[in-house]
Amino acid sequence: MPDTQTLPSPPATVVAWGDPDRRSLRLLDQRALPQAEVYVTVQTLDALVHAIRTLTVRGAPAIGVAAAMGLAAVAAREPALTHARLAELAEAVAAARPTAVNLRWAVNRLLARAAAERPEQLVAALADEAQAVLDEDIAMCRAIGEAGAALLRDGMRVLTHCNAGALATAGIGTALAPVYVAHARGVALTVHADETRPLLQGARLTSWELQRAGVPVTVLPDGAAASLLARGVIDAVFVGADRIAANGDVANKVGTYPLALAARAHGVPFYVCAPWSTVDAATRDGVAIEIEQRGRDELALAGDRVVLPDGVPVFNPAFDVTPRALVTHYVTDRGLVEPPFTS
């Protein structure tokens, strides 16, 4: 059993109920970080879908929790909720982003709970199920932290990509959970975080939460990661995942694949940390994973400054796929697991 005296608390509350009646959702607006800690309240379907699409909430586990709680909150405001209307609401939420499997997983879980309830019981049942998703996500993070902390030793230097920490979950994160558990137990670690172009999740989010937790962190350009690995100053790479196919191929933030190639070239172990809900046994391999394409402005603009000439097209995938052969271990809330994944 985990020693609760040495398990850290998350550095910020990412997702929570917005009121005691569970009729709204409160989200940390991650677009405002690190300049400001801003919270938004979600009460409508449009606001929930907008929050997911615009990355107000991001990270596969956090998206799943927000989807479950947000769907329950929105459903509670329906004047006469029916199973048919709930199905409409659920599909709109599930379609907000295509790649992260946790989003549809969470929505389907609420639908499965609702199927066994009478219409007058739907609101309470949905809220209870959403609360269970939240509680389980927090426990999941701790379990991943426990499993992954066993891979860390005093003085190790860890490289990570994007943000798979507390800001990506309801708990202490996935890829950073082992770091937080080890740090809380007095293990001296340092973290290098890729800035993660084009939205800079590593620079804006990972560095913010690690600094807040007292973990030494250095930010580097994505393009410098291979050089850093070549210098022999990184002992392990820890990343998260938005979807893991049955054969072990991993969809994660774009830039993960070249990082895995560089880690393999320089003999550095590459660990993928994710909850079991991110494993999609129905998707045979990475080729079958739909990759979300983001808008042109994310590359064409740097703040208010235009950095691309008019008419120049962009290729802006949000994710890439890392082949199973490049993954050293999969760290989940079920421990260290290996593909193929069947359920």
Quickly state the pLDDT bin for 3 (edges 50, 70, 90): low
The token pair at 273 is: 């940390």
- Domains, the chain, in order of start with CATH, read 4-141 (1.20.120.420), 145-337 (3.40.50.10470)
Three-class HEC string of 59-113 = CHHHHHHHHHHHHHHHHHCCCCCCHHHHHHHHHHHHCCCCCCHHHHHHHHHHHHH
Answer whether residue 128 shows pLDDT above 50: yes
Answer whether residue 188 shows pLDDT above 60: yes
Answer whether residue 4 shows pLDDT above 70: no
- 194, 242, 249, 280: the active-site residue: 242
Answer whether residue 44 shows pLDDT above 60: yes
Distance between CA 63 and CA 101 in Å, rounded? 10
Q: How many CA within 13 A on the CB side of residue 20?
A: 0
Task: Give the largest Cα separation in the chain, rounded.
Answer: 63
Distance between CA 290 and CA 342 in Å, rounded? 20
Quickly state the pLDDT bin for 9 (edges 50, 70, 90): confident
Is there a catalytic annotation at residue 242? yes
Map residue 280 onto helix, strand or coil: strand
Q: What is the pLDDT of residue 6?
A: 64
Q: What is the pLDDT of residue 1?
A: 44
Provide the percentage of residues in the chain whose pLDDT is more than 90.
95
Task: Return mean pLDDT, the chain.
Answer: 96
Q: What is the mean pLDDT of residues 293-312?
A: 96
Answer whether residue 334 shows pLDDT above 80: yes
pLDDT, tens digit, 9 for 90 and up, residues 197-229: 999 999 999 999 999 999 999 999 999 999 999
The single-letter code of the amino acid at 35 is: Q
Answer whether residue 112 shows pLDDT above 50: yes
